[in-house]
Structure 1
Amino acid sequence: MPDLPEHRPVLAGARYNGMTGASLRMEALPEGHLLHVLGAIEPPALAAELVKAGFTNSSIRKAGFRQWFIAGDEPLASAGLDALTAALAGKAFVMDQSHGRVRIGVSGRSSRLLLSKGTAVDLDPTVFAEGSSAMTMVGHLSVQIVRTGDDDFELTVLRSFAESLWDELRHMAASAEKDGGA
């Protein structure tokens, strides 16, 4: 019987150990779980169902009309996915996207300057508050940006584009540094 493929994080190795400066940090986040939920369920009701299904440390991110991403650092347990799918039956559909998307954290006082070089989303805290999310483009890549703190952001990208996004962010960081930000 052939060996099963071994899962390896896409942003692994010395090249992706993160980037830390005086005012900017970039890091590959754990490849935990990412669920795509589609349906006529509001976030408070979805949050209650997540707790019942054991997703207590997961966050809900708006991904479009009646669409949410449920993201967390812990690997997905099939029992939890089954419980959530059963609880949402008739209200919403759940699709596991954990294997197909990667999250990158960008933080620090220069994080908005860095991200402004690649996207047109207004990241000012008065417009894009903590917990806000937007599906947008960073350069030529489709990305979901989520504000997770005052100067903290999380970018979610399709797995096959993760290395390209990482390289694009490093390039933008070098440009931001030249501009005196990072």
Structure 2
Amino acid sequence: MPDLPQHKPVLAWTAHNGISGAGIRLEALPEGYLLHVLGAIEPAALAAELAKARFTNSSVRKAGFHQWFVAGDEPLLPASLDALAAALAGKAFVMDQSHGRVRISISGRSSRLLLSKGTAIDLDPAVFPEGSAAMTMVGHISVQIARTGDDSFELMVLRSFAESLWHELKHMATSAEKDSA
């Protein structure tokens, strides 16, 4: 009998190799679901449709003109995705990107310093407040950075670049901790 393919989180090995220092915490987030929504729908209307389709613990981020990313930690249920697609019919299209992207959390008082070492985005809270998201580069890797709190960020990266980004962030974190000391 052939072996069935099994899903293995790409950053599973980081559970014991993360960074948790005085000023920085680097953590691979659960590989739940990530949906790409395209259409002229406002965030409040999208949030209402997400709630109806039982995507209750989702975060919605702007991904471009009339584009949104919807992320959550739970596994994606096909019936929920079908319900959301039906609810958005005529307003927006939804595509499952769960298999192709990975999320990484960066938090702590030195998180902005760490990110400033790899990206040119101004992460000052007055310019990039909580809820903001932007596509950018961290080194040579394309990522979406979202501010999730005062000193916390979430990076979304293509799955094939996740390990490289992790190593880059770990290197930058070591440097950022030295600079903040």
What TM-score bracket applies, with the shorter chain setting the length?
over 0.9
Instruction: Report what 1:85 is aligned to.
Output: 85
- TM-score normalized by the length of structure 2: 0.97
In structure 1, what is the Cα distance between the partners aligned to 2:52 and 2:92?
Answer: 16
Q: Does 1:145 align with 2:126?
A: no
Is the CA contact 1:112–1:123 (under 8 Å) kept in the aligned structure 2?
yes
Q: Does 1:47 align with 2:8?
A: no
Is the CA contact 1:16–1:28 (under 8 Å) kept in the aligned structure 2?
no
In structure 1, what is the Cα distance between the partners aligned to 2:13 and 2:137?
Answer: 26
What runs of 5+ residues in structure 1 fail to find an aligned partner?
none
Q: Does 1:67 align with 2:62?
A: no
- Paired positions, count: 181
In structure 2, what is the Cα distance between the partners aligned to 1:86 and 1:16?
Answer: 41
- One-letter amino acid of the structure 2 residue matched with residue 3 of structure 1: D
Is the CA contact 1:17–1:28 (under 8 Å) kept in the aligned structure 2?
no
Q: How far 1:180 moved relative to its partner?
A: 2.6
Q: Deviations over 1:69-118 (max 9, x none)?
A: 00010110001000000000111110000010000000000000000000
Cα RMSD over matched residues? 1.2
4+ residue segments displaced more than 2 Å: 14-17
Alignment of 1:156-171 (within 5 A): 156-171=156-171
Alignment of 1:16-27 (within 5 A): 17-27=17-27
Alignment of 1:99-114 (within 5 A): 99-114=99-114
Q: Deviations over 1:35-77 (max 9, x none)?
A: 0000111111101000000001001000000000000101100
In structure 1, what is the Cα distance between the partners aligned to 2:64 and 2:11?
Answer: 27
In structure 1, what is the Cα distance between the partners aligned to 2:36 and 2:14?
Answer: 31
Is the CA contact 1:61–1:132 (under 8 Å) kept in the aligned structure 2?
yes
- One-letter amino acid of the structure 2 residue matched with residue 85 of structure 1: A
Give the percent of matched residue pairs that are identical in Structure 1 and Structure 2: 80
